[in-house]
Structure 1
Amino acid sequence: MPARTVEVASASGLHARPAALFSQAASEQSVLVTIETAGAAPVRASSILMLLTLNVDHGDEVTLRAEGEGAEEALDALAALLEKDLDEEFPDR
């Protein structure tokens, strides 16, 4: 199963706006994507509520996993999103 480990760049981690933007992008992928932190079970990346339960802060590492046709592309797109400070990239959302 393809995976990507990424350091979260958003100043607020995966809370509020960044979590909403990330979960929306994950729901638009053609494959199911999960996200996990060290010591926590994987959750659906498309679920904002599940993302918030991970309590991911700025600089924390998360691992994304997906399987199936389009998994590599989905992981690349979502990893690139997490590597941006979404609070600054989309201030009005």
Structure 2
Amino acid sequence: MFLAQVHVTYKPSILDPQAVAIKNAMHRLNFDKVEAVRQGKYFELSLDVATATDAETQTEAICEQLLANPNMETYRYEVKELANQ
């Protein structure tokens, strides 16, 4: 069993109004050293596959086809083997 931790965020060239609002709120709360904010989505996928390579291949396909919009978003992921339970 493997766990894939996936982070999806807007590409740097895409305006992220929610992140701008978060940054403005931080400044109002006197966290004025914050220069930039990026917000995104986080997913955990439990994968019942034989190898880490299989988990990475399946995670990549899921990200490309479902979790991220390739026109606007980028993604990164990490795959970890879970201890047998």
Question: If each structure's strand is expressed as a fraction of its own residues, which one has the higher value?
Answer: 2
| Same-fold call, TM cutoff 0.5 | no
Bigger CA radius of gyration: 2
- The alignment's TM-score, normalised by the length of structure 2, stands at 0.31
- The alignment's TM-score, normalised by the length of structure 1, stands at 0.29
